[in-house]
Chain A
Amino acid sequence: MPVDSKKADTLEVAGRKLNSRLIIGTGKYETYEQNAQAAEAAGAEMVTVAVRRVNLTDKDKPMLVDFLDPEKYIYLPNTAGCFTAEDAIRTLRLAREAGGWNLVKLEVLSDQKTLYPDMEETLRAAKLLIKEGFEVMVYCSDDPVYARKLEDVGCCAIMPLGSLIGSGLGIMNPVNIRLIVEQSSVPVIVDAGVGTASDAAMAMELGCDGVLMNTAIAGARNPILMASAMKHAVMAGREAYLAGRMPKKRYADPSSPLAGLI
């Protein structure tokens, strides 16, 4: 929360108010228990989840819902692994039936090697989903033109990649992220590519409304400690953005007065 404002600094997506601007994934953790501890340490209120076949042979496998309570966390079903609009729509219809809500994360990928979003298919899927009443938070490239098109068709959050999913390379094109932030009237959330706390802070300093990450936390040596680091980084970056940074200068500017120098 900004120090100079009494108003709570909340992230509002599709009518839902979140105090935390950090959204976390629930993949790649050693156990769901560790996942739950990380979510707690991150202060997350929204988590992404995948839709997969129920295991019919091993029904005693632990279930996500037993560790991350859908009453406590907003489940954001994703379309990870979908390479066509049709696959994504089919997955999200099932998600809506399973969960009973319309808020979803759309991602339509192009190839296994880069998992780069296929923007033509993403835009097509977004239009169809919105027609069916879904509220679509959309994973996209950092192309401001496509970001605008996605907003124009009614997506409720624009989620450009910082860099490739699971790469931890950070924000490769801060200029584009900034352009997307400036032009968007819905929340902009950097999704994918964050590797460490400074990347998350950078996203927030650029004016993003939130950050979504999975591997940066799950893949850390100590995921729970990293979750806490990310919480602080997102808050620090947000406050720095609201505070307005000092201008950059080419030369030194002494902090101590020159007058009275002996």
Chain B
Amino acid sequence: MDITINGEKKSLDGPLTVAGLLSVLALETRKIAVERNLEIVPKSKYNETALSGGDKIEIVQFVGGG
């Protein structure tokens, strides 16, 4: 299934949840936030939120800024 993560198109084997995606990407869930098709996915819903082809995912964190 093709999904867009942080503006980059990726092909991933489905089915996949948000938790699964973060594990595939080897991302720590500490201090990150995930948005799926402009909707926030709360941390408590990572395990039950399934991804679909064409999804646009944003994964953000805190960086230095003024």
In the assembled complex, how far is the CB of residue A100 from the closest CB belonging to chain B, in whole angstroms? 9
B50 at the interface (CB under 8 A from A): no
In the assembled complex, how far is the CB of residue A223 from the closest CB belonging to chain B, in whole angstroms? 13
The residue from A28, A54, A56, A93 contacting B66, defined by CB atoms under 8 A apart: A28
Q: How many inter-chain contacts with C-beta < 8 Å in the A-B complex?
A: 97
B61 at the interface (CB under 8 A from A): yes
Query: Are the C-beta atoms of B42 and A65 separated by less than 8 Å?
Result: no
Give the most central of A52, A75, A80, A214: most B CB within 10 Å.
A52
Number of contacting residues on B, CB 8 A?
26
A contact residues around B30 at 8 Å (CB): 65
A contact residues around B34 at 8 Å (CB): 97
B6 at the interface (CB under 8 A from A): yes
Closest residue of chain A to B58 (Cβ to Cβ) is: A53
Query: Are the C-beta atoms of A64 and B62 separated by less than 8 Å?
Result: yes
A contact residues around B60 at 8 Å (CB): 51-54, 94, 98
The CA of A133 and the CA of B30, in the complex, are separated in Å by 23
Closest residue of chain B to A67 (Cβ to Cβ) is: B64
Query: Are the C-beta atoms of A59 and B64 separated by less than 8 Å?
Result: no
B8 at the interface (CB under 8 A from A): yes
A contact residues around B1 at 8 Å (CB): none
With contacts A49-B62, A50-B62 taken as known, whether A98 is within 8 angstroms of B38 at the C-beta atoms is: no
Q: Could you list which residues of chain A lie within 8 angstroms of chain B, going by C-beta atoms? A: 25-29, 32, 35, 48-54, 56, 59, 63-65, 70, 75, 77-78, 80, 90, 93-95, 97-99, 165-166, 214-215
Query: Given known contacts A56-B25, A97-B42, A215-B66, what 4 new A-B pairs fall within 8 Å (CB)?
Result: A26-B64, A27-B66, A64-B61, A166-B66
